[in-house]
Structure 1
Amino acid sequence: MIMNDNKKLDVRYLQLLAQSFPSVADASTEIINLQAILNLPKGTEHFLADLHGEYEAFQHVLKNASGNIKRKVGELFGTTLRETEKRELCTLIYYPEQKLELVKASEKDLDDWYHITIHHLVAVCRDVSSKYTRSKVRKSLPKDFSYIIQELLHERTEDSDKTAYVNVIIDTIINTGRADAFIIAIANVIQRLAIDQLHILGDIYDRGPGAHKILDLLQNYHHWDITWGNHDMLWMGAAAGNDACICSVIRISLRYANLATLEEGYGINMVPLATFAMDAYADDPCTEFRPILSGDAENLNEKSIRLTAQMHKAIAVMQFKLEAQLYEKHPEWKMQDRELFNFIDYEHGTIMLEGKIYSLRSCHFPTIDPANPCVLTDEEHELLQRLHHSFMVSEKLHKHIDMLLDHGCMYLVCNNNLLYHASIPLEEDGSLKKVEVYQGQPVAGKNLMETVGHLVRSAYQSDTNPVERDYAIDYFFYLWCGPDSPLFDKSKMATFERYFIEDKETHVEHKGNYFKLRDDEKICEHIMDAFGVTGPNRHIINGHVPVKVGAGENPIKAGGKLMVIDGGFAQAYHKQTGIAGYTLVYHSRGFQLVQHEPFTSTEDAILRGTDIKSTTQIVEMSAHRMLVADTDKGVELRKQIDDLMELLYAYRHGIITPKL
C-alpha cells in the first residue's frame, strides 16, 4: 500500500502494532500520551566514575543525589524552616530507618512530629515527581502505600475544600501505627525520583573494601549503566579464568590491605596463599610489599601487616611470572620487554631496563629459578589451581560479572554525550590510532571499542570458537595494562619497578597521545564526529585519571567539550587529589559538576546530620529548559508517534480493520 506522501506502509509491522493498539481510539490515546511526555522536563542524569569499592561514600552520594535533594529542600522551604530543621529532614530522607529510631528516642510529642514531617516529605516528593508522568510515578511507588501517596501528591492543603481530606489521611496513617513504614516508603520514593538515570564511568572494583556491596545495591537500582573500566576488566578476566588477572586482583587487594571483597563478598579462600607465603617468605622482611593503609586497615597490628606483606610478595611474583608467559604466548602484543624476571642479574641484584642497569631493593626470590625465571614452582602451581577453582565456583562473583555484562559496554552515546572510562587511542597528530585486536584488520575509534566489546563478551559464551575464546580470556590482561588498550593507554604499568627499583625514573608511565591531546577542542570534536555524536552541545565524559585539584588541575577541558570526573573516590587517593571525588549532574537546566570533600561516615551522617561537603560548579546551562523532546528518548517517542500515525491512516483507509 502507498500513503498519499508516496511513503510505503509496512503492513506486516502495522498488523503487529495493531495487537497493542487495536482501535482508532487506542492509537489516538497513545499519540496524545506520547506528545504530552515529549513536553515534560528531561529526567536528571547522574554521572559517577572510579568508585573503587568506596561503598559508604557511593551510597551516600546516591541517596543525596549529589546534593540535588538538599538543593530542592532548600528551595522548597527557604526561610520557613531553620537550617537545622532542613538538615534533619534531609538526613531523614537519606537514612529513614536509622533516623526514625533516633527521633523516637528523643521526641516528646511524636504524633505532632509525624504530622509535620509527613507534610514536609509529601512536599518534597511532589517536587521531585513533577517532571514525570503520573504513570511513571505510580510505577515507582511501593504497593502498600501507592494509592495513599498518589492522593497526597495530587491534593493540596492550600485548597480549602481538600484540607480536611488530606489531614484525615495523615491522621489515619499515624493512628493505625503505619507512620514509620510510610515515612520510610516515601523517603525511598524521593531518592528514586531524584535521579532518573545513573551512569557509572568504570572502576567499581579495587582499593576500597565494598565493591561487592556496591554491586548488591545496583542489583535493585532502577536505571543504571556502566562503561567498563580497567579495574572492572581485571575482575571480569579473573572470573573468566585468566590466571594473571586472578593474581593481579589478589595482589591489589593485599596492596591496600583489603580482603573484604575477596573473602566476605565472594568467598575466595586466602588461607592457602597465607600458608604458602609464610613458608616461602619466612626469612624475607618483604619491606617493599608492606600494604598501603587507609580506613579500617589503619588499625592492623604489626603481625597482620607482616603476613599481608608476605602474601603480597608471593602473589606478585606469581603474577609477574604468569603475565610474562602471556607476553611470550602473544608476541603480537609487543610486550615482551615486560618479561622483567628475564632481565635480572640474580647474582649481583641488578636489572637492565632500556639499556640501563638499576640496583634492586631486594633480590630475594626463593621461588625463582634464574635459568627459567618465569616458570611457576610446583608449590606455586598447586596454589594457583586452588585459587583458580575458588574464582570459578564463586556464585556471587559470577552473578556480579553478569550484571556488568548486562548493563555495560566499552562506550555509550547518550543525549549527545560520549561516555567511556579512559581513552580513545590516538596517533601523535590526533588521528584515530588503528589497533589490532584479534586476527583481523586493525581498527580504530568506534570500531575498536565495539570490537573489544564483542571480544569481551565472547569469553563468556559457550558457543564461541574455542580458539577465539582462549584468546579472549587472555586478552583481558592486555586490556588491563596494554599500551594500546583503550582502558589503559600508557607506555607500561610500572608495578614491578615501584616494588623493586628505588630510582623513580623507572616508575614513570608515559601517557598515550589521547591524554596529551585531550585539551584540544578540535581533537575532542574529531572523536565525537567519529562516534556519530551530534548536536550543538555535545560532550565527552570520562574518568580513569584522578584530577589533582590540590595541584591546580581542572576537570573541565577542551573549552568545555570534555569533562573528567575521576576526583578520587578511593580514600587512598585523597592526599593526591585533595578532594573525594566528582559527580556530574545533568538536569533539565544544564550540567552541574559537584566536587566532594571526604565522607566521614554513615554513622556521622545519621547522628549529627553531616553531609558530604560539596562545591557545585555550573558547567553549562541551557538557554531553555530541556524537555524529553530534546533527548534520545524524545527521538524514540517521535518515531513511535510516526508509527502510530501510520496505523491510524491504515485504520481509516481500510488497510487494516480495527477491533471494535
Structure 2
Amino acid sequence: MKNIEKELKYLKVLSKQYPSISKASTEIINLEAILNLPKGTEHFISDIHGEYEPFVHVLKNGSGVIKRKIEELFSSTIRESEKKTLATLVYYPEQKLELIEREEDNIDDFYRIYIYRLVELCRYASSKYTRSKVRKLLPEDFKYIIEELLNEHVEQVHKQNYYKSIVDTIINIDRAKEFIIAISKVIQKLVVDRLHIVGDIYDRGPRPDVVLDTLMDYHSVDIQWGNHDILWMGAASGEKTCIANALRISARYSNLDIIEDIYGINLLPLATFALDKYKSDPCTCFMPKGSGGEISTKEKTLIAKMHKAISIIQFKLEGEVIKRRPEFEMDHRLLLDNINYNEGTINLKGKVYKLKDNNFPTIDPNNPYKLTKEEEIVIDKLVSSFKNSEKLQKHVSFLFSKGSIYLVCNGNLLIHGGIPLNEDKSFMSMKLQGIEYSGKELMDQMETLAREGYFFKEKSKQKQYGMDIMWYLWTGKCSSLFGKDDMTTFERHFIAEKETHKENKNPYFTLREDENVCNKIFDEFGLDINESHIINGHVPVESKNGESPIKANGRIIAIDGGFSRAYQSKTGIAGYTLIYNSQSLHLISHEPFTSTEEAIVNESDILSTTMLVEHKLSRKTVKDTDAGKKLLDEVDDLKLLLMAYKKGIIKEV
C-alpha cells in the first residue's frame, strides 16, 4: 500500500496505457516471456579508419556468424558450393542476383530453391526473438508474407500446399528478386542484435563517409569515440587546431579527396597559399605516404606543399591553445620557441638537433606563433567550409547522438583508448575550470565539455572551452582517447633522430595486464569484478610478434588488430572483431580482404580464425542485460498497477 500511494500519480498515467486488469496481466505475461529469451548477439568492431570495404563485409557476414548458422543448419543437406552461394546471397543479394540471372538457364528453379533456404535460415536466426521484435525488422513490402513463411510448419502435410503457393506466387508475379533481397537483409539484422564501434572511424583509409552512412542505416548501433573521431568532431565545431590536424593527416595519407569531393570543403585557398609560399621548396619531408604510383609527381608535390603549409599553421594554432589553457600543462610542446632559425637547429630537453628542413618563410622568429595575414585568411575560410559542410555536420551530429567517450553495456566497459593512470596505479587527475577530476568523473566531465564545444552558442566562453577540450582529447596526456604523453608530429617531420619521435604510452597500457588494476577500474565504474570485461581499441595488437589481444586473464580484450592497411605490417592480420552471444565470447581475427567484387564473383569470404575467450555453462537471458533490467522495472510497475486495480484504488476503464 505504501508503494502504491507513493507511485499513485505515475500509476494513474500508466493505467491510460493498460486500462484494465486483463491488459496489465497480458503485458506482464509478455514481458516475463521476453525476459527468459536468450540475450541477443553483440558485435564489437574498432579502428576502422575509413577502410569501408572490409568493414562493410564484416558487418554483412556478422564476423562469420551467418556462415556458422548456414553450417549448423545445412551441414549435411547441401553441398559446400551451395553453402557459399547462399552466404554470398545473404551478404550481397542485389549484386549476386545480377550475376546469377545472367548465368542461370532456369532462374525460376534457382529462385525457388534459394527462397526455401533463405526462409529456413531466417527462421533459424529469428528463433531467439519474439514475433513482435522480428516483425519490427521486416520490410513493409513483404512483412505479411515473410511472417507467414517464418511461422508455417511445413512438416504438416496440410500446410505444405499453402507454403508452396506463396513461394510460387512470389516467382510468378516477378517479385522473387525483391523478396530475396528483402529477406537477406532481414537475416543480416537478425544475426547481430547490437553493434558496438569502439572508436576511430576516421583517417588513413579512403572512405570514412561510407562507414558512417552505413552506420546511420544500421538497426542498432552505439559508438565510443576514438581520438581520430574527436578530431573531426572538433573540426566540424570550427576548432582551428582540429581542422589543421585533420587536413594534415588527410594530406599525409593522400586522402584529400575525402575533404574536397565528399565533404565539399574548398581547398583552393590552402593550395594557392602553399604554392605561393613554398614554390621553390621541394617539401621533401612532407611527401604523402603510401601514394605509390597512384598519383602523379605533380600532384605529390602539390600535396607536399599543402601538407607543410597546414602543418606550420597547426603548430602556431596549437601554441595559442597551450598558452590560453595553462591547465593543459603542455608548455613543453611550444617547440617553435626552441628553434635557432639562423643555424637550422632546435634545442629539445637540453640537446641540440639539426633540422632536416629549415625553410620557414611564414614564421617570425621574434613571434613564432603569430599567424601571418595570409594564414589567417586561409584558416578562416577553412573554418567556414568545415562548419558549412552539410554532409560533415550530418555525420558529426550522428557521432554525438550515438556516441560517447565510454559505454557501460551489459556488464562490459567499452572505451577506445584506456583509463588514464599514474605509475602507482592511481587514477590520473586534471583540473578543468578550477575543479580537479579523475577516473570516471574526469571522463564524464570531458564528454560534457566536448558536447558544449559542438552545441553551445557561437563565440561563447563555454563553446571555446569545449572546443579546446576536443583538441586536448586528441593529443593531451590525460585524454582517455589518446593515451600517450606527447604527440611528436613536429619531431617526426623535422628531426632525423628517432629518439625524439618517441611517444610514451600511458601506464594503463602496461598495468592493464594486472587483474588488480582491472578490478579497481571495474569498481570505479560500478561493474562486477567476476563477470565484466574492458574492451579496448586504439593500440594495434602485434599478433605476428606473439602479442595476445586477451589481457589480465581475460578481463581485458584489445580488438585493434589492423583494419587499417597502415597497421597491417605491424599486426600481421587485418583486424579483430568480438562476438558476444548468450553463452560465449568469441574473438575473431581476420585476414586481409581482397575486394567486394572478388567476394561476389568468386564467393570468397574473409578468411577468419575464431578464438573462444569465455564460455558460460548457463545461457545469459534478456533479464541479465541492461534492457532486461528496464523490463524488470516495467514488470514491477505493472504488478503494482495490478494490485491498485484489485484493491479499487484505481478503477478499470
Compute the TM-score of the two structures, normalised by the length of structure 2: 0.98
Query: Residue 395 of structure 2: SS of its match in structure 1?
Result: helix
Amino acid at match of 1:458: E
Q: Tell me which of 113, 117, 139 is aligned to 1:116.
A: 113
Cα deviation, 1:591-645, whole Å, max 9, x if unaligned, reads 0001111111111111111111111110001111221122112211111111100
Amino acid at match of 2:108: D
Structure 1: tracts of 5 or more residues without a match: none
Name the residue aligned to 1:597. Answer: 591
Name the residue aligned to 1:105. Answer: 102
Query: Residue 460 of structure 1: SS of its match in structure 2?
Result: helix
User: Which residues of 2 match residues 464-483 of structure 1 at below 5 A?
Assistant: 466-483=460-477
Query: Residue 84 of structure 1: SS of its match in structure 2?
Result: helix
User: Which residues of 2 match residues 364-513 of structure 1 at below 5 A?
Assistant: 364-440=359-435, 442-462=436-456, 466-513=460-507
- Asked whether the 8 Å contact 1:650–1:656 carries over to 2, the reply is yes
**Is 1:152 the counterpart of 2:146 in the alignment?**
no
Name the residue aligned to 1:320. Answer: 315
- Aligned-pair distance for 1:282? 1.4
- Asked whether the 8 Å contact 2:512–2:518 carries over to 1, the reply is yes
Q: 2 CA distance for matches of 1:159 and 1:22? A: 40
Query: Residue 155 of structure 2: SS of its match in structure 1?
Result: coil
Q: Tell me which of 246, 256, 275 is aligned to 2:243.
A: 246
Q: 1 CA distance for matches of 2:203 and 2:641? A: 52
Name the residue aligned to 2:650. Answer: 656
User: Which residues of 2 match residues 612-651 of structure 1 at below 5 A?
Assistant: 612-651=606-645
- Aligned-pair distance for 1:298? 4.9
Name the residue aligned to 1:2. Answer: 2
**Is 1:216 the counterpart of 2:216 in the alignment?**
no
- Asked whether the 8 Å contact 1:9–1:646 carries over to 2, the reply is no
Structure 2: tracts of 5 or more residues without a match: none
Name the residue aligned to 2:544. Answer: 550
- Aligned-pair distance for 1:465? 9.5
Count of residue pairs the alignment pairs up: 653
- Aligned-pair distance for 1:650? 0.1
Name the residue aligned to 2:55. Answer: 58
Q: 2 CA distance for matches of 1:494 and 1:134? A: 55
- Asked whether the 8 Å contact 2:39–2:582 carries over to 1, the reply is yes
Query: Residue 443 of structure 1: SS of its match in structure 2?
Result: strand
Name the residue aligned to 1:566. Answer: 560
Name the residue aligned to 1:527. Answer: 521
Amino acid at match of 1:2: K
Query: Residue 620 of structure 1: SS of its match in structure 2?
Result: strand
Cα deviation, 1:74-113, whole Å, max 9, x if unaligned, reads 1111032221211111111111000000000000111111
Cα deviation, 1:484-519, whole Å, max 9, x if unaligned, reads 111112110011111111100001101111112111
Name the residue aligned to 1:77. Answer: 74
**Is 1:132 the counterpart of 2:132 in the alignment?**
no
Amino acid at match of 1:354: K
Query: Residue 268 of structure 1: SS of its match in structure 2?
Result: coil
Amino acid at match of 1:476: M
Amino acid at match of 1:55: Y
Q: 2 CA distance for matches of 1:552 and 1:437? A: 40
- Asked whether the 8 Å contact 1:416–1:535 carries over to 2, the reply is no
Superposed CA RMSD in Å reads: 1.4
Cα deviation, 1:16-38, whole Å, max 9, x if unaligned, reads 11111111011000000000001
- Asked whether the 8 Å contact 2:519–2:529 carries over to 1, the reply is no
Name the residue aligned to 1:191. Answer: 188
Name the residue aligned to 2:601. Answer: 607
Compute the TM-score of the two structures, normalised by the length of structure 1: 0.97
Q: From the superposition, tell whether residues 80 and 496 of structure 1 become closer, same or farther in structure 2 (CA, over 3 Å).
A: same
- Asked whether the 8 Å contact 1:45–1:196 carries over to 2, the reply is yes
Query: Residue 635 of structure 1: SS of its match in structure 2?
Result: helix
- Aligned-pair distance for 1:310? 1.1
Amino acid at match of 1:416: G
- Aligned-pair distance for 1:260? 2.9
Query: Residue 332 of structure 2: SS of its match in structure 1?
Result: helix
- Aligned-pair distance for 1:264? 2.3
- Asked whether the 8 Å contact 1:92–1:100 carries over to 2, the reply is yes
- Asked whether the 8 Å contact 2:200–2:226 carries over to 1, the reply is yes
- Asked whether the 8 Å contact 1:50–1:204 carries over to 2, the reply is yes
How high is the sequence identity, in percent, across the aligned residues?
A: 54
User: Which residues of 2 match residues 229-244 of structure 1 at below 5 A?
Assistant: 229-244=226-241
Q: 2 CA distance for matches of 1:312 and 1:2? A: 69
Name the residue aligned to 1:282. Answer: 279
- Asked whether the 8 Å contact 2:523–2:529 carries over to 1, the reply is no
- Asked whether the 8 Å contact 1:239–1:391 carries over to 2, the reply is yes
Query: Residue 52 of structure 1: SS of its match in structure 2?
Result: coil
- Asked whether the 8 Å contact 1:210–1:260 carries over to 2, the reply is no
- Aligned-pair distance for 1:438? 2.6
Cα deviation, 1:12-59, whole Å, max 9, x if unaligned, reads 010011111111011000000000001111100011111111111111
Q: 1 CA distance for matches of 2:39 and 2:398? A: 27
Q: Tell me which of 254, 262, 266 is aligned to 1:265.
A: 262
Name the residue aligned to 1:345. Answer: 340
Name the residue aligned to 1:363. Answer: 358
Amino acid at match of 1:484: C
Q: 2 CA distance for matches of 1:86 and 1:484? A: 50
